[in-house]
Amino acid sequence: MSLAPAPLPQNVKDQVSAVEWQTRVDLAACYRLVAMHGWDDLVFTHISAKVPGTDDFLINPYGLMFHEITASSLVKVDQAGNKRMDSPYEINPAGYTIHSAIHEVRHDVVCVLHTHTAAGVAVAAQKQGVLPISQQSLFVLSSLAYHAYEGVALNHEEKARLQADLGENNFLMLHNHGLLTCGGTIADTFLMMFIFQRACDIQVLAQNGGAELITIAPQILAGAKAMAAAVTKSAQGMGGALAWPALLRKLELQDPGYKS
């Protein structure tokens, strides 16, 4: 049995548009950055991005770890889950259910990022969910929805309930399951997950201390919601454009193979 990844189609860059190739490069970078931050879960969980100008989206080849993913290895599928280009890999069926559900109804969303981190699942298992105890939590709470656990996401009937629960929010906590962010750019979506994950890390650490927690005043929370609403309507989106170039510089130094 060979341990090498399956051979990929040749010259993918030459077979797609320039804008699709750039989306592939950015999405592959996002996968590598998720791995770099320790948010990956072997070959499980998934990140998708819409192919500009189409209803197709790109998602990870099922069987590759996140640090292995390249621009060429990403699988392009339509809304029905059919491959739009040859690939030796299939896609995660649960990933298809979740991502196709969101891309189907949220036309403002370019990227969807889903994780199963320990802290994320720990908070997702708490009835109160995200607590307003950190600055990071305020940004999450400004656009947070919850979705009840229905088992591994293989039932396509769950899609309608997931869509209804998410609504127009950009942060989704899947109870007993994990975290999800969606945004108008790959950069914004990654930054939102960074903030979401950090809020969960802080909450678990604070709870472990055993001391009474200080919650942020409701009027500050209300102000944060208004501030976040104003920011998301600006040209800077969630601010991912500010952090993304620096993240790519770090990735270039440590793990530049994503662009192939």
- Of 143, 142, 152, 149, the C-alpha closest to 126 is 149
> Whole-structure pTM over 0.75, yes or no?
yes
pLDDT by residue for the chain (260 residues), tens only, comes to: 566 666 666 689 999 999 999 999 999 999 999 999 999 999 999 999 999 999 999 999 999 999 999 999 999 999 999 999 988 899 988 888 999 999 999 999 999 999 999 999 999 999 999 999 999 999 999 999 999 999 887 778 899 999 999 999 999 999 999 999 999 999 999 999 999 999 999 999 999 988 999 999 998 988 877 776 666 555 455 678 889 999 999 999 999 999 99
Would you call 130 exposed, middle or buried from its count of C-beta atoms within 10 A (0-12, 13-18, 19+)?
A: buried
Task: Output the six-digit token pair for 98.
Answer: 């979740």
- Domain 12-252, CATH 3.40.225.10 — does that match? yes
**Tokens 């590759």, located at residue:** 64
What are the phi and psi torsion angles at 29 (to 5°)? -60, -40
